[in-house]
């Protein structure tokens, strides 16, 4: 019932910044948390950040170390991931996901109900 489309990925230099967007369409009768995950080729998909329905609660993976910020717009139709001080290790496909009835503390892939197609982030040395 919810369709998610990521955008904003690209190629940046070490130390650069990107802002990813995830546009949601369709309706849901339920409130839902939103999350960002990432996956490098041949590696397990990794939790990055999540935000609750109202945007009041946020949670980040340990590797973020203050570099990333997740947010929602006022009508809660779009979620963002602002990424600063990017490192080559951040290179991955980044996915947004919706977790029906979820909280900001949902960190497991299996808890999310809808997924976007992903957007590529590449950080050059």
Distance CA 22, CA 2 (A): 12
Range scoring the smallest mean pLDDT among 13-22, 25-34, 63-72: 25-34
pLDDT band at 29 (very low <50, low <70, confident <90, very high): low
Q: Per-residue pLDDT tens for 65-76? A: 899 999 998 676
* Sign, Cα dihedral of 56, 61, 62, 64: negative
Would the pLDDT of 98 be above 90? yes
Q: Tell me the residue length of the chain.
A: 125
Residue 28 has pLDDT above 70, yes or no: no
């Amino acid at each position: 019932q919810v369709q998610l489309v990521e955008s904003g990925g690209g190629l940046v230099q070490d130390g650069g910044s990107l802002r990813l967007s995830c546009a949601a369409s369709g309706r849901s009768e339920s409130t839902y948390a939103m999350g960002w995950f990432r996956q490098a080729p041949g590696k397990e998909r990794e939790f990055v950040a999540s935000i609750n329905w109202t945007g009041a609660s946020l949670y980040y993976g340990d590797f973020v170390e203050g570099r990333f910020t997740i947010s929602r717009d006022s009508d809660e139709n779009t979620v963002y991931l602002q990424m600063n001080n990017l490192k080559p290790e951040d290179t991955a496909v980044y996915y947004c996901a919706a977790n029906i009835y979820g909280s900001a503390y949902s960190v497991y892939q299996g808890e999310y109900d809808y997924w976007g197609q992903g957007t590529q982030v590449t950080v050059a040395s």
